Amino acid sequence: MTQAQNSTDASTDGEDPMGSGAAPGARARLGARFLRWWRPAGMWRRGIATAVVAVLLTLLLVFHADLPNRVGNLGSLLETFLPWLGLAVPVLLVVAVLRRSVTALIAVVLPAAVWLNLFGGLLTDKAGSGGDLTVLTHNVNAENPDPDGTARDLVAAHAGLVALEELPSEQVSRYSHDLAAAYPYHSVQGTVGLWSKYPLSSVRPVDIRLGWVRAMRATASTPHGQVAVYVAHLPSVRVKFDAGFTAGQRDQAADALGEAIAGERLPDVVLLGDLNGTMNDRALASVTSQMRSTQGAAGNGMGFSWPASFPMARIDQIMVKGIEPVSSWTLPRTTSDHLPVAARLELP
């Protein structure tokens, strides 16, 4: 063996960049680089502004019901889009990491925990199987370019009860014709209507203090008993720079609807409709305090229904009283600006 070979062998035996001995050293160097980048000496002093924002976000989530409605209905506006505040949590988390701030990281945990407490249950699938009655509600949009196609989509859902809102008078006959084969019983009151596979009785408009009819009540005689069915379309809300969140008519109508439901004599009640408000909106408390949302009880996800192109809020509601929700879901988009929503119910 030559001296050159001995030298080469010695070099190979004494230095193995890819061997097992190099890995611990590489990890140590990587850890040292991370610690130098993090600079622990200032990790508690940095990120105070991020921590303050996280605390303010937490306060909004916890005390949203205490934000006054006297100025531009700010409370209702916040509650309409309350779940979307959760998007700020990952942003704050990234900022806290980039700022290398333990203070900010700890603060970000607060809004994350509160948001999960408020809405984490909606992220799980609570839908069950079975049930006696499928109900469906859809704001069909007065300017719907294809009402016949919308009607066909609704028939394909095979619901026992179908409630329609925002029905223009010139299109009522088209919807009635398209739904007649599947739904032999129906009634239209003002701009809302109910189509049913079961006989309807005691049909009447419900006065929600608007001066025109946008709500109705009927008794559906199902194979499992009589059910009081309310269909409602509460007035729209608007966000204006000079007036804020204009919801005065909606709020008054919600109170009147709540009074009508409270006076209902039948024990089993279903409310179907576009309430132009979410379950978090305190302005709908006269209704939400006495009824259960099928989406909250038996849905899967947030169930946003409006606008159909990019749903951001659940303003189309199916609510029940004296009835057990089994499952709740949104249907595929029609040519309306709302998504249809449906639920499967178990009658007593």
Of 319 and 97, more confident = 319
Our separate counts of H helices and E strands in the chain read 11, 14
End residue of a domain, out of 95, 123, 151? 123
91 and 161 co-located in one domain: no
Structure confidence at residue 70 (pLDDT): 76
Q: Is residue 179 part of a domain?
A: yes
| Residue among 133, 47, 86 at smallest CA distance from 323 | 133
| Residue among 191, 236, 199 at smallest CA distance from 215 | 191
Count Cβ atoms within 10 A of the Cβ of residue 64 and give its class: 0-12 exposed, 13-18 middle, 19 or more buried.
Answer: middle
Q: Is residue 6 part of a domain?
A: no
Q: Is residue 48 part of a domain?
A: yes
- Dig out the tokens for 320 from the structure: 């029940």
Q: Report the share of the chain in percent with pLDDT over 90.
A: 74
Assess whether pLDDT exceeds 80 at residue 12.
no
End residue of a domain, out of 59, 88, 123? 123
R_g of the chain, CA atoms, integer Å:
29
Number of domains in the chain: 2
150 and 52 co-located in one domain: no
82 and 161 co-located in one domain: no
221 and 327 co-located in one domain: yes
Of 209 and 1, more confident = 209
Q: Is residue 306 part of a domain?
A: yes
Encode pLDDT of 153-208 as tens digits: 999 999 999 999 999 999 999 999 999 999 999 999 999 999 999 999 999 999 99
Under the banding of pLDDT at 50, 70 and 90, the label for residue 37 is low
Report how far residue 263's alpha carbon sits from residue 278's, in angstroms, rounded to the nearest whole number: 23
Structure confidence at residue 243 (pLDDT): 46
- Dig out the tokens for 101 from the structure: 């701030």
169 and 138 co-located in one domain: yes
| Residue among 45, 57, 121, 46 at smallest CA distance from 89 | 57
User: What is the span of the domain harbouring residue 249?
Assistant: 133-346
* Average pLDDT value over all residues in the chain: 89
Q: Is residue 257 part of a domain?
A: yes
157 and 119 co-located in one domain: no
Assess whether pLDDT exceeds 80 at residue 9.
no
| Torsion of the alpha carbons at 215, 319, 180 and 186, rounded to the nearest 10 | -40
293 and 144 co-located in one domain: yes
Beta bridge partners of 270: 229, 320
| Residue among 134, 136, 154 at smallest CA distance from 144 | 154
Encode pLDDT of 90-127 as tens digits: 999 999 999 888 899 999 999 999 999 999 999 889 99
Under the banding of pLDDT at 50, 70 and 90, the label for residue 41 is low
Q: Is residue 92 part of a domain?
A: yes
Encode pLDDT of 49-58 as tens digits: 999 999 999 9
Under the banding of pLDDT at 50, 70 and 90, the label for residue 46 is confident
In this structure, is the dihedral angle defined by the CA atoms of residues 281, 282, 283 and 284, taken in order, positive or negative?
Answer: positive
303 and 168 co-located in one domain: yes
46 and 155 co-located in one domain: no
Encode pLDDT of 129-148 as tens digits: 999 999 999 999 999 999 99
| Residue among 219, 199, 224 at smallest CA distance from 131 | 224
Structure confidence at residue 73 (pLDDT): 76
CB-based contacts of 216: which residues, under 8 Å, 6+ apart?
Answer: 187, 189, 190, 192, 193, 194, 203, 204, 205, 206, 230, 231, 232
116 and 243 co-located in one domain: no
End residue of a domain, out of 123, 145, 163? 123
155 and 241 co-located in one domain: yes
Question: Other C-beta atoms within 10 Å of 290: how many?
Answer: 15
Under the banding of pLDDT at 50, 70 and 90, the label for residue 248 is confident
Q: Is residue 207 part of a domain?
A: yes
182 and 224 co-located in one domain: yes
What CATH number should be reported for the domain holding residue 153?
Answer: 3.60.10.10
Structure confidence at residue 114 (pLDDT): 97
Q: Is residue 226 part of a domain?
A: yes
